[in-house]
Amino acid sequence: MVAEITPLFIPGGMGPPELAIILIIAILLFGANKIPKLARSTGEAMGEFQKGREKVESELEEMREGGTVEGET
């Protein structure tokens, strides 16, 4: 009789078992007290990245329309 092993990380998405394992590893690495601070700083970094991406997209759109990009003479 052969035991079938189910893969831990299923292609196509993460389920509750994977999220629980990631949460446990994060708690072990950073400690329970630092998790909220880490999450907050990650969120702020993602927000800054989003703003930068939107700025680049708007500048590219202006260039496509034949306008000038801000900051250029």
Residue 2 inside a domain? The answer is no
Residue 57 inside a domain? The answer is yes
Domain range enclosing 33: 26-61
Per-residue pLDDT at 70: 57
Residue 52 inside a domain? The answer is yes
Residue 3 has pLDDT above 80, yes or no: no
- What pTM did the predictor assign? 0.50
Per-residue pLDDT at 11: 63
Return d(Cα 8, Cα 15) in angstroms, integer.
10
Residue 33 inside a domain? The answer is yes
Query: Is 14 in a helix, a strand, or coil?
Result: coil
Q: Into how many domains does the chain fold?
A: 1
Residue 49 inside a domain? The answer is yes
Per-residue pLDDT at 68: 57
Per-residue pLDDT at 7: 59
CA distances to 15, 43, 46, 52 from 40, in Å: 23, 5, 10, 19
- 12-70 pLDDT tens trace: 677 788 888 888 898 888 888 888 888 899 999 999 999 999 999 999 998 888 855 55
Residue 50 inside a domain? The answer is yes
Residue 51 inside a domain? The answer is yes
